[in-house]
Every structure is written in C-alpha cells, then in structure tokens.
C-alpha cells in the first residue's frame, strides 16, 4: 500500500521513557512562565462575584481551579466560570438549577477519563464534578448495590468484593470513575463470562431539566415503563453527558436470587490463572505478525458464544509500535471454571501455532499493561490480586500530564488481509518512533452476545473483539503529528468504507466510551453514514425519544451528544 510520510516533529525523535520524563519536567519548568492550562483571560473578580453560593464552588482565584480545568487527557482544557463540586443528589439539583437560571453551558465529570472534549472545551462555563461522590453500599429496599458516580473502579471492586463477595464485570483501569464507565456500557475481563456492566444495572438516579427549565431528581429502574423506562434504558450504553447528572447507580443481576446481598450480583472469582507473554519485535516479521493476528481472530470466531468453558477466558493483545520493543498478550481465566487450565493452555497454543517466535517475560510496561515479569509461565493468584496488579501500575496510562488520541472499532470477524497490511506497515514505520503507541485488541463476545441488541442501549451484541488504536505524547507542539498518525492509520484500515468502521458483516461500528469526534467530521468520516449510526445503530431513535422526554431543551450536550428528534 502507499503510505503518506509523516515527518518527525522538530521537538521529538524517539519518545522513550527517559525523554518522556525529561520532556515533562521541561514542561513543568516552562509552566512557571506559561502553564499549559494558564488562567483564563476574563477578569477573575467579576466572575468570582457572580459565583453561586456554596463551599463546593471553585472559581478562577481558587488554587484548585488550575487542576480542575482538565481531566486525564490534557489535550482538552476548559476555562469555566467555576467548577461545582457535587456531594449529593440534592446538591446536584441545586447546582443544575443555578446553571439553568444563569444560562450557563455545563458539562459533567466523574473520573475525568473522557477520550474526547465532552467535559473540557472552550465553550464550557460550568463543570459539574461528582468525583467526591464515592459511596458503595447495599440498599435493602431495592435489593441492589448502590454505587455513586465518583467511585473509582478499583474502589468499587474492593468494596463489593470485601464486603459481600460480589462484583461487576467492569474495566481494568483502576482510576476510571463509575459515572461515565457505566452509562457508556463498560466492559472488562469478566465480560465474556458475565456480560457488560449495564447488563446488571437495576436502577439509576439522575438530575434532569424539563421544558420549563426546572431541575428535578428522577429514579428509573429496570422495571419502569414509559418515559421512565426510556431514562433507565438510555443509561445502559447511551453515553455520558446526554440526559442529566447521574448521582447514583444500583446493581442487581436480572436473575438474582433470594434476599441476601450475596445473591443479587455475580459472585466474584476466588482465584484466576494469569499468563503474560512478550513477543520481541526483533523476531517478528510480516508473515509471523499476520499469523498471530489470524490465529487470534480465528479463536474468537470459534468461541464467540456464551455458556462455554472458553467464555471464562479473556485476553488482550497489545500491538505496540516496534519502537516499544515487543508485542504483548495478557490472558486470564477463572481458575474454577470448567477445565480452566486446559482452556488456557489450548488458547496459548492456538495463538502461537505456526509462529516461530521465542516468547519472553513481560519485563516492562506493555501497552495498557504493567510489567508482568512473573507470568511468562501461567500462575494462579487471587482474583483481587490480579485486578489490582493489572490496573494500577502502567506509567503510560497513569501519567497525568500526557496527551492522547484514541479510536475504536468492533469486529464480528477476524482482520482482513487489507487491514493487516495497514497494521503491519504502520506499526513498523521508521519515520514514526513513539513507543507509547499501540493498537489494543480486547476479547469480546461470550455472555455479551447473549443479550439482544435492543435490550440495552449498547447495540453491539454479536462482536468477537474490539480495538482501541491509541498514541500518547507529552508535548502540545506535537499534537498534529501524533493525531495525524492515528487518523491515517485508522482511515487506511477502513478505507473501503469511507475511513470508518461502517457496520457490516465484518465490523460493527465504534464504542461510545472511546469517543472520537472525527466520526462526526465529514472530512474524516467519508462514508456518508452518520456518527450516530456508528455508535448506536438501530437504538438511536429510542435514545432520541429519551432525550426529548428528559432533556427537551438540550441543556446537556457535547460534540457527540444525542440529538433531539427532528
């Protein structure tokens, strides 16, 4: 294929770990003169005098303001009049009403991990921050577990496991907030066995705004009908920032039994088998690369159904740029699942079949994973140990000063030859040498595919894996260079459908929790297919119906916001 040459940015050659740290230190030093999120140009006094009352209101003069203007991806910075820290549903209602009355444009933040500019952009006047709402409890009346939106996933898992022995099948990144993760249809290493997080969502508490501009607190459950039923359903994969401010979720599995807390959610595994393999790039040629990926896809095609021993196994393959030094594959299975050891051994044998590569221990962080040097040979550890280990110790993912570009796609079948051409060429380019660049391929299917497409707002229910193409960099000056690489790679992979994964027999659109505003840009999405079709497909009309019922003035919106019906 023909590849457009991207020139190495003047500020950067190879972005190694050492140069990354030095670059970050330099940025900090330069910040003394002009920090990346410098104070806004408007007059602080005039803004502060107009702030609503309350100790949770943070204006430009407050020392906390600088940090609260941005999230985990410092590509996106806001200049709000104030940030309102929310501590309860009543607090949220008051804050929303104040913003409505003042005609302020708002955004809502829980963990701050949004991949796009939904929360932090130049138009935002008020950020409603629920990150201090971190409660995890059991509600006896609802027979459900209550989780507040600011609770980090690690805390949710710890609390549910230690207090009741249950869990939800959420993501691996410890610091992601429950608020956005859940409403976007979160998934993780337990999803092939137990479905998406939203498959266990029983109820949601939301502050909404009606046609008269009045804020109110609504509670919608799985059993709600009419408009309330639409409100619950919209929070099962409809994406954050569309309908109101979520102040609480309740979880109870659809087939919960009895009245005891332990019977209301899936039982957390006691122990898991874990394996982590590095594939050194100096042993990988194009033939071996293609064989690895074809083997990966073939296994997931064969074992896509729920209820099999293989559905308890989940894996992620980090296709790192060769500047990193290796590819990496992490695999986990519930040790108490039927024939767990055999399933895992056969999986590894299948993926490496016909691939003459001497794998090695994962001795340094690999893609979204930490270094896992002790798992080149499969080991059994407790599930909670594995959960902490995988999600908490990768400097690429946890660096609070980095910038990132992210793109996603669901796959129903293995990669095509044309897609593998692009992947090989882009991950081995000599003119692009950022080791913090990767395509992460996540296992999907299994129990996720046991649910019909319209039962939740999350429509992708027959995929076998999904990808997240991403690159991270420290320097604002290199924005166009790295974003350009991500765009070129992604658009080349889907060149036959206008540069985006238009749902068909092989691919199934994009994941709203990995939002990408390029999908709404006709210069980048040349398919003629609306961005809403890529993310929501046939479920979009019902989301619009919920929007009309619960946010008729479009008070809550963003660059990929659910639109009011025409």
Confidence of residue 55 (pLDDT cuts 50, 70, 90): low
Confidence of residue 304 (pLDDT cuts 50, 70, 90): very high
Burial (0-12, 13-18, 19+ Cβ within 10 Å), 285: middle
Tens digits of per-residue pLDDT, 151-178?
A: 999 999 999 999 999 999 999 988 999 9
Q: What is the mean pLDDT of the chain?
A: 91
Query: Is the per-residue pLDDT at 395 higher than 60?
Result: yes
Query: Is the per-residue pLDDT at 360 higher than 50?
Result: yes
The pLDDT, as a whole number, for residue 47 is 43
The pLDDT, as a whole number, for residue 53 is 59
Query: Is the per-residue pLDDT at 15 higher than 90?
Result: no
How many CB atoms within 10 Å of residue 123?
Answer: 12
The pLDDT, as a whole number, for residue 428 is 98
Gap between the Cα atoms of 234 and 254, Å rounded:
17
Query: In this structure, what token pair is assigned to residue 414?
Result: 């293995």
Query: What DSSP element (H or E) covers 246?
Result: strand 245-251
- The CATH code that applies to domain 271-538 is 3.40.462.20
The pLDDT, as a whole number, for residue 394 is 74
Q: pTM of this prediction? A: 0.90
Query: Is the per-residue pLDDT at 29 higher than 80?
Result: no
**136-268 and 271-538: identical CATH topology:** no
The domain ranges of the chain are 37-129, 136-268, 271-538
The pLDDT, as a whole number, for residue 267 is 98
Mean per-residue pLDDT, 183-197? 98
Confidence of residue 363 (pLDDT cuts 50, 70, 90): very high
The pLDDT, as a whole number, for residue 368 is 82
Asked if 130 and 95 touch (Cβ cutoff 8 Å), the reply is: no
Q: Output the furthest CA–CA distance in the chain (Å, rounded).
A: 70
Q: Which CATH class is domain 136-268?
A: alpha beta
Percentage of the chain with pLDDT > 90? 87
Q: Give the chain's end-to-end CA distance (angstroms, integer).
A: 42
Q: Which CATH class is domain 37-129?
A: alpha beta
Query: In this structure, what token pair is assigned to residue 534?
Result: 């890529």
Mean per-residue pLDDT, 507-524? 98
Confidence of residue 50 (pLDDT cuts 50, 70, 90): low
The pLDDT, as a whole number, for residue 54 is 54
Which residue from 484, 115, 486, 487 is spatially nearest to 321, judged by alpha carbons?
486
């Amino acid at each position: 294929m023909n590849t457009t040459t991207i020139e190495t940015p003047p500020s950067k050659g190879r972005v190694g770990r050492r140069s990354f740290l030095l670059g970050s230190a330099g940025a900090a030093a330069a910040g003394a003169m002009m920090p990346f999120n410098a104070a806004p140009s408007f007059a602080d006094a005039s803004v502060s005098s107009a702030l609503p009352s309350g100790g949770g209101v943070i204006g430009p003069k407050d020392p906390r303001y600088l940090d609260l203007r941005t999230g985990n991806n410092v590509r996106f910075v806001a200049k709000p009049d104030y940030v309102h820290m929310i501590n309860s549903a009543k607090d949220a209602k008051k804050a929303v009403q104040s913003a409505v009355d003042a005609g302020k444009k708002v955004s809502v933040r829980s963990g701050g991990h949004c991949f796009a500019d939904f929360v932090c952009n130049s138009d935002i006047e008020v950020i409603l921050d629920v990150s201090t709402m971190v409660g995890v409890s059991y509600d006896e009346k609802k027979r459900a577990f209550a989780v507040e939106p600011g609770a980090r996933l690690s805390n949710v898992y710890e609390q549910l496991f230690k207090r009741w022995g249950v869990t939800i099948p959420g993501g691996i990144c410890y610091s992601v907030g429950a608020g956005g993760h859940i409403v976007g249809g979160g998934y993780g290493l337990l999803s092939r066995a137990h479905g998406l997080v939203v498959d266990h969502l029983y109820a949601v508490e939301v502050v909404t705004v009606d046609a008269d501009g009045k804020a109110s607190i609504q509670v919608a459950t799985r059993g709600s009908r009419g408009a309330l039923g639409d409100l619950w359903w919209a929070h099962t994969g409809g994406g954050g920032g569309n309908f109101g401010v979520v102040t609480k979720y309740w979880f109870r599995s659809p087939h919960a039994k009895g009245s005891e807390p332990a019977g209301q959610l899936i039982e957390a595994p006691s122990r898991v088998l874990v394996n982590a393999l590095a594939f050194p790039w100096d042993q990988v040629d194009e033939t071996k690369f293609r064989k690895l990926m074809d083997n990966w896809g073939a296994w997931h095609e064969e074992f896509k159904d729920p209820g099999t021993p293989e559905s308890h196994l989940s894996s992620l393959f980090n296709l790192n740029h060769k500047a990193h030094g290796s590819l990496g594959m992490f695999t986990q299975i519930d040790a108490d699942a039927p024939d767990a050891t055999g399933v895992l051994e056969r999986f590894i044998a299948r993926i490496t079949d016909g691939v003459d590569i001497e794998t090695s221990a994962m001795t340094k962080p690999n893609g979204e994973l930490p270094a896992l040097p002790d798992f080149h040979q499969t080991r059994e550890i407790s599930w909670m140990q594995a959960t902490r280990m995988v999600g908490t110790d990768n400097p690429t993912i946890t660096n609070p000063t980095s910038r990132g570009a992210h793109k996603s796609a669901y796959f129903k079948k293995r990669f095509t030859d044309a897609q593998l051409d692009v992947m090989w060429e882009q991950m081995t380019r000599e003119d692009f040498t950022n080791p913090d660049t990767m395509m992460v391929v996540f296992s999907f299917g299994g129990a996720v595919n046991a649910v019909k497409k319209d039962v939740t707002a999350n429509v992708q229910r027959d995929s076998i894996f999904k990808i997240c193409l991403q690159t991270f960099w420290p320097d604002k000056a290199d924005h166009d260079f790295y974003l350009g690489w991500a765009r070129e790679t992604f658009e080349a992979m889907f060149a036959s459908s206008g540069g985006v994964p238009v749902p068909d027999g092989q691919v199934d659109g994009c994941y709203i929790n990995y939002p990408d505003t390029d999908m709404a840009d006709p210069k980048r999405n040349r398919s003629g297919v609306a961005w809403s079709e890529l993310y929501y497909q046939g479920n979009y009309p019902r989301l619009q119906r919920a929007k009309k019922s619960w946010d008729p003035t479009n008070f809550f919106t963003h660059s990929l916001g659910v639109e009011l019906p025409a």
